Amino acid sequence: MITKETLIDLANRQKKLDDYIYEKRQIKFNEEISNKKLIAFFVELGEFINEERSFKFWSQKTASPRNILLEEYIDGMHFILSIGIEINFDFCGFSLNLPVKLENLELDYLELIKNFSNYAQKKSLKNYEKLITSFLLIGTWFSFTEKELLETYFKKNEINFNRQNDNY
């Protein structure tokens, strides 16, 4: 599970990446960029769920290996942090309250999708807080350790900087 301090650290690192991309690509933030980030997050969430496979009642195939799930989850983390940064979400003041007992993964996925839709319709701090909380809850289902999350984020962050340098 991720701590508030780690979330703040990742948000700061994400801001550096976002600023670098905006500067390198000479992009000014606007509503179009905001919507593209939302779509990117939704795609990454779908990729994670697809690799996790619990919804595939018709299939006997098991979930992808843990490292693949971590990579897909962190891809989503990059975008959800970026979305929060763009609305000046106060990660320092964020109260991370996740349930101790997990009940139903599919219902939690649906809650996340609902919160995504609500945020897409009304980009408010309250809706973002619900969105990121439901995203972080999904991570708890897989018992991702803080160390795993950090290592995977750092690797992907380095890849993302290198991609920008290579005109990705």
CB-side neighbour CA atoms (13 Å) of 95: 3
pTM listed for this prediction: 0.94
Fold held by 4-166 = all-alpha NTP pyrophosphatase fold (1.10.4010)
pLDDT of residue 12: 97
77-128 pLDDT tens trace: 999 999 999 999 999 999 888 877 889 999 999 999 999 999 999 999 999 9
